[in-house]
Amino acid sequence: MAKVTGLDGIVAADTDISLVDGTQGHLVYRGFWAKDLAVQYEYEEVAYLLCNGVLPDQAQNQQFTKNLTESRQLPEALKRLLDIIPREMPIMGVLQTAIAMLSGGIFIWPPTKEQAIRITAILPTIIAYRYRMQNGLSVIEPKPELGHTANFLYMLTGELPKPAHVKALGAYLILGMEHGMNASTFASRVVLSTQSDMASAISAAIGAMKGPLHGGAPTEVIAMLDAIGSKEHAEPWIRESLERGDRLMGFGHRIYKTKDPRAEALREVTEALSGNDPWFDLAVHVEKTAVRLLAEYKPGRHLYANVEFFAASIMRAIALPTELFTPTFTAARVVGWSAHLLEQAEVNRIFRPQSVYTGPMPG
């Protein structure tokens, strides 16, 4: 029996949700370039696209946005759970527990778009509620007149966010929504294939996302930008780092062997906003300097900024605490998970791979 450790290269499902082509540097959502969607569309429109297969018209977008807005509130029982979970539990564990609690009620087999909207809407509220409670701050209730991205920032800070920050974070959330049959998406589809419910499947996906090999935060990129500090220090700092043989954080990617299309989109957004925030200014300058010096020091390697580089600049600009990086990524990816779960249910067959026994036989 053929064995492939880690299932690398094994096709587990047909999908029309997204295409990830690392060789060509392509990321496609439902027939659209993801980078174009991130630059030209709002969060709600792309979430609708992933779950419904088409971009919404004005009336559909308004209804979808209304449904998201009306689904943000936490049930009282869930608030009580968030209040009693030990403070030392990391927030990803809190998210996993909170979403699992939703099982039952509307969350029964088969998964529905109503369930997808509910989980997508409620995740940012759970994150903001737990973060503020953990830090001794008063909880901020959702603001109905704000869009999904702006409301998330508002619930975290209690202040209306800058439009530049909303645009940048919105682009990041769009580009984080979906990325093929990654570990967390596969975990969610495996659970749902047993005819378990969507909440349980999303909880499993969050469990996979917790792992540092999957949902790790770009903290090392932020540390690099902090160390560089200003445009005039960028070239000497990067040269010194490369001459020591250090790895330049935020450059190169395991999947993309050419330019990361997510980074390309975030660069475009960041450049457009660079006059509105000093961290965007610095990130654009550092990226250009680093690519030039990497070509000089590592000719032929074709090393470019990856999505983590520009994600880090956005997180730094909006002053997002490091412990919220992976939860925020999770709040983005839940849209893709939901789309995959709806797709899995349409042609469901339980996942049941084989294993090769390598232990001893009885005497």
| pTM to 2 decimal places | 0.91
Percent of the chain past pLDDT 90, that is, above it, reads 69
Determine the pLDDT at residue 182. 92
Q: Is residue 40 over pLDDT 90?
A: yes
* Strand ordering across the sheet containing 18-21: 18-21, 26-29, 32-33
- Residues 6 or more apart whose CB falls under 8 angstroms from that of 310 comprise 172, 263, 266, 267, 270, 283, 287
pLDDT digits (tens, 9 = 90+) for 168-212: 999 999 999 999 999 999 999 999 999 999 999 999 999 999 988
The pLDDT of residue 100 is 96
Q: Which CATH superfamily is domain 18-212+322-346 in?
A: Citrate Synthase, domain 1 (1.10.580.10)
Is residue 110 classed exposed, middle or buried when 0-12, 13-18 and 19+ CB atoms within 10 A define those classes? middle
Query: Could you please report the per-residue DSSP string of 289-344?
Result: HHHHHHHHHSTTS---B-HHHHHHHHHHHTT--GGGHHHHHHHHHHHHHHHHHHHH
As given in the structure block, the two tokens for residue 82 are 């968030």
What's the pLDDT score for residue 256? 66
The 3-state DSSP class for residue 265 equals helix
Q: Classify burial at 214, counting beta carbons within 10 Å of its beta carbon; exposed 0-12, middle 13-18, buried 19 or more.
A: middle
Task: Report pLDDT for 1.
Answer: 55
Over 90: is that where the pLDDT of 215 sits?
no
Q: What is the pLDDT of residue 217?
A: 64
**pLDDT value at residue 7:** 81
pLDDT at 219 over 70: yes
CA angle 116, 118, 120 (to 5 degrees): 65
Token pair recorded at residue 362: 């009885």
The dihedral through the CA atoms of 340, 343, 348, 353 has a sign that is negative
pLDDT of residue 18: 96
Q: What is the per-residue pLDDT for 221?
A: 85
Supply the pLDDT for residue 319: 87
Give the tens place of pLDDT for each residue, 124-165: 999 999 999 999 999 999 999 999 999 999 999 999 999 999
Q: Provide the 8-state DSSP code for 251.
A: B
Q: What are phi and psi of 8, to 5 degrees?
A: -55, 125
**285-332 residue pLDDT tens:** 999 999 999 999 988 887 888 888 888 888 888 889 989 999 999 999
Question: DSSP secondary-structure letter at 276?
Answer: G
Domains of the chain, residue spans: 18-212+322-346, 219-317
pLDDT for res 2: 65
Choose among 222, 176, 200, 197: nearest CA to 327: 176
| H helix runs in the chain, sequence order | 34-40, 43-52, 58-70, 76-84, 91-101, 113-134, 148-157, 163-176, 183-192, 198-209, 212-215, 219-228, 231-243, 261-273, 278-297, 307-317, 325-346
Q: What is the mean pLDDT of the chain?
A: 92
Q: What is the mean pLDDT of residues 50-61?
A: 98
- Structure confidence at residue 363 as a pLDDT band (50, 70, 90): confident
pLDDT digits (tens, 9 = 90+) for 341-351: 999 999 999 99
DSSP one-letter code for 247: -
| Mean per-residue pLDDT, 92-107 | 94
CATH number of the domain at 219-317, please? 1.10.230.10
Q: What angle do CA 294, 298, 300 make, to 5 degrees?
A: 110
Q: Which are the contacts of 357, defined by CB distance < 8 A and separation ≥ 6?
A: none
List active site positions: 253, 308
Check residue 288 and give its pLDDT.
92
What count of other Cβ atoms lies within 10 Å of the Cβ of residue 31? 12
Residue range 251-269, pLDDT digits in tens: 876 676 677 888 888 888 8
pLDDT of residue 254: 65
